[in-house]
Amino acid sequence: MDQGKIIVSSERFQLTLLRLAHQILENHLKPEDLCIIGIQERGVPLAARLKDNLIEMLGGQPFKYGALDITFYRDDFRRRDVPIKAATTEIDFLVENKNVLLVDDVLYTGRTVHAAMAALQDFGRPQKIEMLCMVDRRFNRHFPIKADYLGMSVDALDEAYVKVNWKDIDGEDEVRLFSGKIIK
């Protein structure tokens, strides 16, 4: 089985998370107007880590944080042979007039972010929506969507696969590049 190539080690992974947290603070001087929302499933661990870093950097000052399931907003939901198992949405606040930071691990076609923006409308009309991702695949974007905050860019062919691993889920914080699709 293809183990993939490590393109971001644990040490660099931690530095990238810290850099992203600093960039968020540089652009959001009023954390009370910021809502960080992780896109289920793999964006949630990234959003949680950023939340922990930001709370520590802000001396415990809280801000809005949640997890968003986009299953029923996906444009391919009814086109799959095997239905996608829905996750949970955990947003107990309105995003009305707030600055929303959507978080996902890998930005590829843009379809996930598109669905997340549609799902987000159920919680009000944000003042602004920004996107943060750990890895931007860059090629093969289907929607004109880009990340406002970016851990790294990877140029990979269609058959390649980028996976962000999380220590508490996968045993190690790292980013791996696989030469072909992996079976989850």
Q: Is position 115 within any domain?
A: yes
For residues 148 and 171, give the distance between their C-alpha atoms in angstroms, rounded to a whole number: 28
Contact by Cβ (8 Å): 26, 54: no
pTM (whole model) above 0.75: yes
Structural domain of residue 97, as residue ranges?
Answer: 5-24+33-77+86-178
pLDDT for 44-62, tens place per residue? Answer: 999 999 999 999 999 888 8
Count of beta carbons in the 10 Å neighbourhood of residue 39: 26
Could you say which residues of the chain have pLDDT below 70? 1, 76-83, 181-184
User: What pLDDT, on the 0 to 100 scale, is given for residue 22?
Assistant: 97
Q: Is position 184 within any domain?
A: no
Q: Phi then psi for 150, rounded to 5 degrees?
A: -135, 130
Angle at 136 between CA 145 and CA 178, to 5 degrees: 135
User: What pLDDT, on the 0 to 100 scale, is given for residue 134?
Assistant: 97
Q: Is position 19 within any domain?
A: yes
Q: Is position 172 within any domain?
A: yes
User: What pLDDT, on the 0 to 100 scale, is given for residue 80?
Assistant: 60
Domain count, the chain: 1
User: What pLDDT, on the 0 to 100 scale, is given for residue 72?
Assistant: 87
Contact by Cβ (8 Å): 112, 39: yes
Q: Is position 14 within any domain?
A: yes
Q: Is position 183 within any domain?
A: no
**What is the CATH number for 44?**
3.40.50.2020
* Beta-strand runs (E) in 51-113: 64-68, 99-107
User: What pLDDT, on the 0 to 100 scale, is given for residue 1?
Assistant: 54
DSSP H helices in the chain: 10-27, 43-57, 111-120, 167-170
Contact by Cβ (8 Å): 63, 52: no
pLDDT for 121-138, tens place per residue? Answer: 999 999 999 999 999 998
User: What pLDDT, on the 0 to 100 scale, is given for residue 63?
Assistant: 86
